A = this chain, B = another copy of it.
Amino acid sequence: MDWENLLAARSKRMNASEIRELLKLLDQPDIISFAGGIPDPALFPAEAFQTAFSSILSGKRQEQALQYSISEGYVPLRNWIVQHMAQFGIPCSTDNILITSGSQQALDYLGKLFLSANDTALVTWPTYLGALGAFNAYEPTYDRLLSSSNRLPADYRDAAHAKGGAVKFAYCSVDFANPTGETLDQSARQDILRLAEDLDIAVIEDAAYQSLRYDGEALAPILALEIEQRGTIEDCRAVYCGSFSKTLAPGLRVGWVCAAKPIISKLVLIKQSSDLHTSTLNQMAIADVASACFDAQVDKVKTAYVARRDCMLQALDRHMPKGVSWTQPEGGMFIWLTLPQHLDSALLLAKAIETQKLAFVPGKAFFADGSGANTMRLNFTRTDQPVIDEGIKRLGLVLREVV
């Protein structure tokens, strides 16, 4: 059976990441891995989930929990999210919220909604690898999102049209971005909004890490800034994607989109024909646990992670050779290293695994243009402090040989 001829054109852009395949081999206990991007499971509110599932499945909500439900999502959960969004300057209503199976699904649906083949998506260099994966299925081209709008030529829109597509949206991770750990400051957020207005495009604001701020002051999301200017979410071009994966637990796959109603309505239709709805039971459990202990849970996670971030930053100070620089994230899960231009971190990964039993993610895959070979992503949330220190020491040994 020769499948290749039968597959859609888009399938040519679906390739297994070599890195991901490599990292699959890393579950051996003697490897120190900074490669993952996952929360520490020891911090999950397991007891609260136990209580929630037991209460739902033994009580009056039992039948509802196991039954089909509406594509928009479980109303009490959407109502909790409405309150949550209000806290950071986003007044909205239940109808502005769609529940998705994690914020990854929101990115897939937004790609599906906006992108025809050859349309342009503006993304940062580097950007979240999973966003590129989600958008790739809709065959866009990418262009670089810079924080200052005046770097785009005046005829930018027309140039895109001339290439047979249109500029559709700017995608950005605003707080402690995956992979860099960096945060867009207030003026950069305003710049992106202005750029989006100039180009008349949407803004997709990925806020997956927003709750994990360890220091510095919280910044208003782009959607909050736009509501401030326009008076109502219904006039806003920013589409906010949130997630419970980094705060409560990723295994339940619950996230959300918050946007103007015309966008939510279209996304509901996409949800309906893509998977009908997110697990009813899981939505109920997330609603229960969020209501019971969201703030306490976030505090618990932050307390653990800030110590690990500090530990990794201090270890980098101690062990990195000259010529290596790194970000100073105010939150999130990642630190981003830049090596001298001539180095290729993918080659170094093979060496690090072999000689030091150490793993990280080479940065190239996060760049839509294939650049960034001299960068790497380090995760600090999955490893205890002594292991972080040992791992960075080993990284230092690998780098000292080549830098």
The chain A residues found within 8 Å of chain B, CB to CB, are 1, 3, 5-11, 14-16, 38-39, 41-42, 44, 46, 49-50, 53-54, 57-58, 62-69, 100-102, 104-105, 108, 112-116, 119, 130, 133-134, 136-138, 166, 168-169, 200-202, 234-237, 245, 249-253, 260, 262-263, 265-266, 269-270, 272-282
What are 18 A-B contacts defined by CB distance under 8 Å? Answer: A1-B237, A5-B166, A9-B116, A14-B266, A14-B273, A39-B67, A41-B64, A44-B62, A44-B66, A66-B251, A69-B251, A101-B278, A104-B274, A130-B273, A134-B273, A137-B270, A251-B280, A282-B282
Q: Evaluate contact between A116 and B269: CB separation under 8 angstroms.
A: no
Beyond A8-B138, A54-B54, A275-B275, 14 additional contacts (C-beta under 8 Å) are A1-B235, A6-B166, A6-B168, A6-B169, A7-B266, A8-B113, A8-B116, A10-B112, A11-B266, A14-B266, A41-B63, A46-B62, A53-B53, A104-B276
Q: Evaluate contact between B50 and A58: CB separation under 8 angstroms.
A: yes
Give chain B nearest CB distance to A11 CB in angstroms. 6
Cβ of A234: which chain B residues have Cβ within 8 Å of it?
1
Give chain B nearest CB distance to A32 CB in angstroms. 19
Q: Evaluate contact between B113 and A11: CB separation under 8 angstroms.
A: yes
Closest to A265 in B: B16
CA distance A346 to B39 in the complex (A): 51
Q: Evaluate contact between B53 and A57: CB separation under 8 angstroms.
A: yes
CA distance A138 to B282 in the complex (A): 29
Closest to A252 in B: B279
Q: Evaluate contact between B137 and A273: CB separation under 8 angstroms.
A: yes
Cβ of A200: which chain B residues have Cβ within 8 Å of it?
5-6
Q: Evaluate contact between A276 and B42: CB separation under 8 angstroms.
A: no
CA distance A39 to B64 in the complex (A): 12
Cβ of A38: which chain B residues have Cβ within 8 Å of it?
67-68
Q: Evaluate contact between B279 and A251: CB separation under 8 angstroms.
A: yes
Cβ of A113: which chain B residues have Cβ within 8 Å of it?
7-8, 11
Known A-B contacts A14-B273, A253-B276; the reply to A63 vs B50 at CB < 8 A is no
Closest to A260 in B: B1
CA distance A116 to B253 in the complex (A): 29
Closest to A50 in B: B57
Q: Evaluate contact between B7 and A114: CB separation under 8 angstroms.
A: yes
Give chain B nearest CB distance to A283 CB in angstroms. 9
CA distance A6 to B197 in the complex (A): 13
CA distance A400 to B252 in the complex (A): 51
Output the residue of A67, A119, A169 with the most chain B CB within 10 A.
A67
Give chain B nearest CB distance to A116 CB in angstroms. 4
CA distance A58 to B51 in the complex (A): 10
CA distance A382 to B390 in the complex (A): 61
Closest to A69 in B: B251
Give chain B nearest CB distance to A294 CB in angstroms. 15
Give chain B nearest CB distance to A266 CB in angstroms. 6
| Interface residue from B7, B101, B133, B275 paired with A273 (Cβ < 8 Å) | B133
Known A-B contacts A66-B251, A236-B1, A252-B279; the reply to A14 vs B269 at CB < 8 A is yes
